[in-house]
A and B are shown apart, each in its own frame.
Chain A
């Protein structure tokens, strides 16, 4: 096929292999691209392609990993489907089958299936024995010649990590593909069951002898998976992860905020006292700035999770958390997405890609928006300061405000797990599911460059994908709040008018139109609630200094029940445009996203009304 606008014709080379065999790393080395790389099975979840470096006109296609051509999950079905299409695609001139040379047993059955099916369609196969550097390091050997003879194909020892064997591969690929030859009939007709036995025998005959790699892994596992030390190290690592999200990203977040304020101070005065100036200041710098400020947090979180994945620890964390999460219909692999969700739902939704069970991935998507993300923090701080007395008991050990903060955080997490628990039991037969069988990869030093590249890509993706939607919503809210009186009085604006319309909706929570408007605008992003209330009460910079706003709320005679109702409402409702956008994209289901958005709003509303009514009844 000749690609439009190009002078050269393009042929395709397929790269296929079992999960965690190092495909993405080799793909990146051969193409110069930066697909996500991690020491965790199931990282490649989509087909990617790139032109081979030094071989113009040849495109390398990276397939998601699968353990065999007999798919048992939706992702594997996708990979197998792509492979079957590739076999009949005349543009495909070569198939590269990647095997993990350190663990031949798990790769060879799949390799034999690939060779058999390629024989049937006349596609030449090169077997790449990856991770050969690890065998070299430990003085272990793979009988390459013997294996090649047994497989009747070229076997090339290679290392995606060090680049060993890559030049040989490039020169092999530069040559014209092997001429068509008579297919090997005996292989073509071999059934899967026989191939399984053959793979087992080949692995024993030609694979590396000795178990030094396993012994190293076992020593570390006896610490990280031990009932006592495993638990302690797990909590220590998670504590560091939290610290990194909140502490390490704080200077960068401050820097983004300062840079935006500095730019706004210089740009806005140049525009004069016009609608354009107001739009630039309020919609562009304040609105978009509030979203850009989260980019460093996403970068840091992705980087730390990348380190954990590439070191091999992530699989151990999934194992430790599996049992308690299974009770709520989730899996141990849901843990990291849920944990990430306490910082920001967006990287959490991305992290859920590593969950191989489609059912459990969907359930994890359902729980993530209820994790108490950092955007809820300013809202909780404001409401708790306004409604919960700053008193302590037990000699200062127990503060009521701190207890309330802990309570509302716990409430959010509990609601998330409760919902997945109920849905998983109610919808038991709606999806095919996978049992928990997790390959524990060997521990290794993380590769910093690929992780950094991936973190930059993820931050870029967040800005380009979510940014468009946030910009649109911000502009709409700004227009509604600015016209028809040019920002003179929010109460008289279209937004204020809307607030009066929706006032009856929020009246059962004891809230007037001002809170209705603040809730309405907070559907763009939760923290907008504080800024909007500040604007309505005529307080500048309410999101930086909340004390005057707290005093206004206390003076407005809002009932305790309304404050608690607001807390509950914010703990449950899905009020984040970016989350909704990313959720729709990652789940590939607008219907699920819409159901979650509406469902969580209704649930939040009913719970908030109940809290208001019950509090009123109790307090009197």
Chain B
């Protein structure tokens, strides 16, 4: 099973592989409008305690996503392009 954006810890970097089917189409489109495209590199900047929303950098913008959204974004970690 692929890791998701929600599984990242602070400092982790990943590449977006896609979205799972449970995420409604309009939210998938909105995430892409924000820059969360397939193939894009995303960095997790903050992973606060107690399950609070995590903070991600995509391109030069910073967003906070909670688990209701981030668990549906499939990612690949490991060696990534810069």
**Interface flag for A326 (CB, 8 Å):** yes
Give residues 404-446 of A contacting B (CB, 8 Å).
Answer: 435-440
Q: Does B62 contact A323, Cβ atoms closer than 8 Å?
A: no
Q: Which of B52, B59, B61 contacts A322 (CB 8 A)?
A: B52
Task: Knowing A72-B27, A203-B59, A218-B45, say if A438 contacts B64 (CB, 8 Å).
Answer: yes
> Which of A72, A200, A225 neighbours the largest number of chain B CB atoms within 10 Å of its CB?
A225
Q: Is the CB of A323 within 8 A of B52?
A: yes
Q: Which of A102, A192, A227 contacts B49 (CB 8 A)?
A: A227
Does B37 have its Cβ within 8 Å of any Cβ on chain A? yes
Partner of A196 from B37, B50, B60 at Cβ < 8 Å = B37
> Contacting B55 at CB < 8 Å: which of A211, A213, A221, A326?
A221
Nearest 3 pairs of A and B residues by beta carbon: A227-B49, A105-B59, A436-B66
Tell me what chain A mostly uses at the interface: helix, strand, loop, or mixed.
helix
B27: chain A residues at CB < 8 Å are: 72, 435, 437
Cross-chain contact B35 with A105 (CB below 8 angstroms):
yes
Are A435 and B68 in contact, CB atoms less than 8 angstroms apart?
yes
A residues lining the B interface (CB < 8 Å): 67-68, 70, 72, 102-106, 109-110, 192, 196-197, 200, 203, 207-208, 211, 213-214, 217-218, 221-222, 225-227, 230, 315, 319-320, 322-323, 326, 332, 435-440
> Which of chain B's residues have a CB closer than 8 A to the CB of A221?
45-46, 55, 62
The main secondary structure of chain B at its interface with chain A is mixed
Do residues B30 and A67 form an inter-chain contact, with CB atoms below 8 A?
Answer: yes
Q: A200-B37, A221-B46, A437-B31 are in contact. Are A319 and B61 (CB under 8 A)?
A: no
Give B contacts to A, CB under 8 Å: 26-27, 29-35, 37, 40, 45-46, 48-53, 55, 57-66, 68-69
Pairwise interchain contact B35-A106, C-beta atoms closer than 8 A: yes
Whether A214 pairs with B57 at a CB distance below 8 angstroms is yes
Residues of B within 8 A of A106 (CB): 33-35, 59, 61
Q: Is the CB of B49 within 8 A of A439?
A: no
Q: Taking the nearest CB of chain B, how far is it from the CB of A31, in angstroms?
A: 29
Q: Which residue of A lies closest to B52 (CB)?
A: A323
Minimum CB–CB distance for B43 against chain A, Å: 9
Please tell me if the beta carbons of A436 and B64 are within 8 angstroms of each other in the complex: yes
- 9 additional A-B pairs beyond A225-B46, A439-B34, beta carbons within 8 Å, are A106-B61, A227-B49, A230-B48, A315-B64, A320-B52, A322-B53, A332-B53, A437-B30, A437-B65
